[in-house]
Amino acid sequence: MSDDYVYDEATGEWVPAGEASAPTAVPAGDGVEVRDAVGNLLADGDSVTLIKDLKVKGTSQTLKRGTVVKSIRLTGDEQEIDCRFDGIKGLVLRAEFVRKR
């Protein structure tokens, strides 16, 4: 008999290692709901509008309120969306600053 115990996050208890169940893996894109500033559910390919002027780090450019960003991609993080915009590579926006069109 082993004295090893494992913390089970689902139940919040320490259980013997032999009784611990294997964690179920969730695919990267599944199970994450990304919502915009007003609570609308976002999906890959949606168009969004900025609700606030945003300074872009690493450039002297500012994205103005009302700017439309097309064809967003979800990153797997519930607060970040990946998108393309003229002259800016690798632009990642926070979901709290956009509204679905």
Spell out the SS3 assignment of 9-77.
CCCCEEEEHHHCCCCCCCCCCCCCCEECCCCCEECCCCCEEECCCEECCCCCCEECCCCEECCCEECCC
**Residues of the domain holding 47:** 29-100
Q: Which residue has the higher pLDDT, 28 or 69?
A: 69
pLDDT at 60 over 80: yes
9 within domain boundaries = no
Give me the pLDDT at residue 28, please.
47
51 within domain boundaries = yes
Confidence of residue 62 (pLDDT cuts 50, 70, 90): very high
- Residues 9-14 have a mean pLDDT of 78
Distance between first and last Cα of the chain: 61
Residue 65 sits in a domain of what CATH number?
A: 2.30.30.40
49 within domain boundaries = yes
13 within domain boundaries = no
- Residues 44-66 have a mean pLDDT of 93
41 within domain boundaries = yes
Confidence of residue 24 (pLDDT cuts 50, 70, 90): very low
Q: What is the domain count for the chain?
A: 1
* Closest to 37 in 3D by CA, of 97, 101, 80, 78: 97
10 within domain boundaries = no
pLDDT at 38 over 70: yes
